[in-house]
Chain A
Amino acid sequence: VSNWGVKGVFASFLGVPVPNGSVCTSQPEHSQLDEKPSLEKELLQSAAAGDREAFRLLVEKHHSLVAATVIGMLGHGPESEDIGQEAFLRMHAALKGFRGEASIGTYLTRIAMNLCLNEIRRRKRRARFDFRFSKSEPPRTSDGRTEIESMSFQDSIRRAILRLEPEQRSTVVLCWMDGHTARDAADILGIPIGTVLSRLHRARKNLRQWLAPEMEDKHHG
Chain B
Amino acid sequence: MDEFMKLMIRSVNEELTPEEQEKLEITLNRNPDLGIEQRELQRLRNNIADARSDCFNPQFPASVIFAITRLESKSKNAFEELLFAFYRVGLAGALACLMLAMWTQATSKNSVSPPSGSIEMVEELVELSTYYALEEVL
**Chain A residues close to B by CB (< 8 Å):** 21-28, 52, 55-56, 59-60, 63-65, 67-68, 71-72, 76, 80-81, 84-85, 88-89, 92, 153-154, 157-158, 161, 172, 175-179, 181-182, 194, 197-198, 200-201, 204, 207-208, 211, 215, 218-219
Known pairs A63-B64, A64-B54, A157-B50; list 10 more (Cβ under 8 Å). A21-B58, A23-B55, A23-B57, A63-B56, A67-B55, A71-B55, A85-B64, A154-B50, A161-B48, A197-B6
Interface string of B24-51 (1 = CB under 8 A from A): 0000000000000000110111011111
A201–B132 CA distance with the chains assembled, in angstroms:
70
> B47 to A157, Cβ gap below 8 A?
yes
**Chain B residues close to A by CB (< 8 Å):** 1, 5-6, 9-10, 12-14, 40-41, 43-45, 47-58, 60-65, 67-69, 71
Majority SS of interface residues in chain B? helix
The 7 lowest CB-CB distance pairs between A and B, nearest first, are A24-B55, A68-B54, A64-B54, A67-B54, A157-B51, A154-B51, A59-B61
Majority SS of interface residues in chain A? helix
Knowing A55-B65, A208-B44 touch, does A178 contact B9 (C-beta < 8 A)? no
Q: Which of A26, A76, A208 is within 8 Å of B52, CB to CB? A: A26
Measured CB to CB, the nearest residue on chain B to A200 is: B9
B71: A residues at CB distance < 8 A: 89
Knowing A176-B49, A207-B44, A208-B40 touch, does A63 contact B5 (C-beta < 8 A)? no
Q: Which of B13, B48, B64, B67 is within 8 Å of A157, CB to CB? A: B48
A26: B residues at CB distance < 8 A: 50, 52, 54
Knowing A63-B61, A182-B10, A215-B44 touch, does A89 contact B55 (C-beta < 8 A)? no
B14: A residues at CB distance < 8 A: 181-182
> B45 to A176, Cβ gap below 8 A?
yes
Knowing A177-B52, A197-B9 touch, does A23 contact B64 (C-beta < 8 A)? no
> B54 to A81, Cβ gap below 8 A?
no
Measured CB to CB, the nearest residue on chain B to A70 is: B56
Measured CB to CB, the nearest residue on chain A to B45 is: A176
Measured CB to CB, the nearest residue on chain B to A25 is: B54
In the complex, 28 of the A-B residue pairs with CB atoms within 8 angstroms, ordered by the A residue number, are A23-B55, A23-B61, A26-B52, A27-B49, A52-B68, A63-B56, A63-B61, A67-B56, A67-B60, A68-B54, A76-B53, A80-B56, A85-B63, A88-B64, A89-B68, A154-B47, A154-B50, A175-B13, A176-B48, A177-B48, A177-B52, A194-B1, A197-B9, A200-B9, A201-B1, A208-B44, A215-B43, A215-B44
Measured CB to CB, the nearest residue on chain B to A86 is: B67
A84: B residues at CB distance < 8 A: 56, 60
A81: B residues at CB distance < 8 A: 56-57, 60
B57: A residues at CB distance < 8 A: 23, 81
Measured CB to CB, the nearest residue on chain B to A84 is: B56
Q: How far is the CB of A130 from chain B (nearest CB, A)?
A: 27
Measured CB to CB, the nearest residue on chain A to B40 is: A208
Measured CB to CB, the nearest residue on chain A to B47 is: A157
Q: Which of B5, B44, B58, B64 is within 8 Å of A22, CB to CB? A: B58
Measured CB to CB, the nearest residue on chain B to A157 is: B51
Q: Which of A52, A65, A197 is within 8 Å of B54, CB to CB? A: A65
Q: How far is the CB of A104 from chain B (nearest CB, A)?
A: 14
